[in-house]
Amino acid sequence: MTIPEFLDRTLTRFPDRIAIRNTKEKPQEPREVTYRELDQMASKLAVGLAKMGIMKGDRLAIMSRPRIRFAAALLAITRLGGWVIPLDPTLTPSEVADIVDRSGAKVVLAPGELFDRLPSEGIERINFDDADEGTPFSSLLLDGSPPQVEIDEKDIAVLAYTSGTTGGAKGVLLSHGNLTADIEGCIKVMPITEQDAFLSIAPWHHILGLTTALLVPLYTGAMAMYTDDYRSIASLMKKNEVTIFTGVPKLYHTMYEKLMVQVKSSLMGRMMLPIAPRLVGKKIKESLTDGKSRFFISGSAPLDPKVALGFLRLGIRPLDS
């Protein structure tokens, strides 16, 4: 299955369910969009990109923190058979220029605050914020039908670049089939439904965030949210009735240590932890999400077995991807 195919399936089943909710205000964006609204935005953008001359096999970079327009851009590009190149928004100008050059990207979509890091020549720059610099995103939302492009599951959908821990960033080609197989593999071990609400601190330029925090929700009809504010996680989980959270091992290690300090700070907590850990875990989940939390997803590095077992003992399921 391709990305456009599974989105069409989700749209048919859940057109009026919320697809993505921004946890912070973004210029020119609504707070949330339904699957119908997200599909309409992606379709209009595909028309605009096609009129710019974008064709199957062209490479377009997205350099942004997760937001509604990021998701719409990814869906529009893949609908045209283009390659999405997700870029870390913390990259330096020289790192961006290097990846843009090596990838052959024709376009970079980014918020105005990052334009000073983008090459000023040789590429089309699309401004997510509709600011003066670059081509306003909204100017490309054109009515009409996007071109019908034949896309196979073997076609490339994403060109992802590593963090470069062993040298320069390395490009990794991911086909539509690679991504959908990854999604289906996740769903085999995670009983996800359209009733779930995802919150992630893993960004979408990282393959962990792209798959488990964006594409998995879109595949199942669930709702996706993102935050880069560690201090807001607990309040966002409760406010939005989050059922699934995606993070990195270091975060879970810190969370577990803080939870243990809180539990052991009271006489009742110290008494109950050894004899009824699941009851203690139930109280923790109720305090975080009014009991709505189902499990956590950990990825990008191995989760410390002691932390994983500690959460399991509390009846909180961490899934290490």
Q: Is 27 exposed, middle or buried (0-12, 13-18, 19+ CB in 10 A)?
A: middle
* b/e burial code for range 287-314 (CB count within 10 A of at least 16 → b): ebbeebbbbbbbbbeebbeebbebbeeb
- The rounded distance, in Å, linking the Cα atoms of 222 and 20 is 9
Please determine, looking at this structure, whether the domain spanning 3-175 carries the CATH number 3.40.50.12780: yes
Inter-residue contact 117 to 94 (CB < 8 Å) = no
Say what the pLDDT of residue 52 is: 95
pLDDT of residue 116: 94
Backbone angles phi, psi at 194, to 5 degrees: -65, -10
- The yes-or-no verdict on residue 308 having pLDDT over 90 is no
**Quick one: which of 162, 190, 176, 215 has its CA closest to 10?**
215
Phi and psi (nearest 5°) for 157? -110, -40
Higher pLDDT, 267 or 300: 267
25-57: pLDDT as tens digits:
998 899 999 999 999 999 999 999 999 999 999
Degrees, nearest 5: CA angle 256-187-32: 75
Q: What is the pLDDT of residue 320?
A: 56
Task: Give me the residue spans of the domains in the chain.
Answer: 3-175, 248-320
164: confidence class by pLDDT, cuts 50, 70, 90: low
Indicate whether 190 pLDDT > 90.
no
Confidence band of 247 (pLDDT split at 50, 70, 90) = confident
Mean pLDDT for 181-208 is: 92
Instruction: Let me know: does 177 contact 195? Beta carbons within 8 Å.
Output: no
pLDDT tens digit sequence for 250-299: 887 887 788 788 888 888 878 887 888 788 778 777 776 666 778 788 87
User: Alpha-carbon dihedral of residues 296, 9, 211, 21, nearest 10 degrees?
Assistant: -70
Q: What is the 3-state secondary structure (H, E, C) of 112-172?
A: HHHHHHCCCCCCEEEECCCCCCCEEHHHHCCCCCCCCCCCCCCCEEEEEECCCCCCCCCEE
78-137 tens-digit pLDDT: 999 999 999 999 999 999 999 999 999 999 999 999 999 999 899 999 999 998 899 999
Residue type, 226: Y
Query: Which residues is 235 bridged to in the sheet?
Result: none
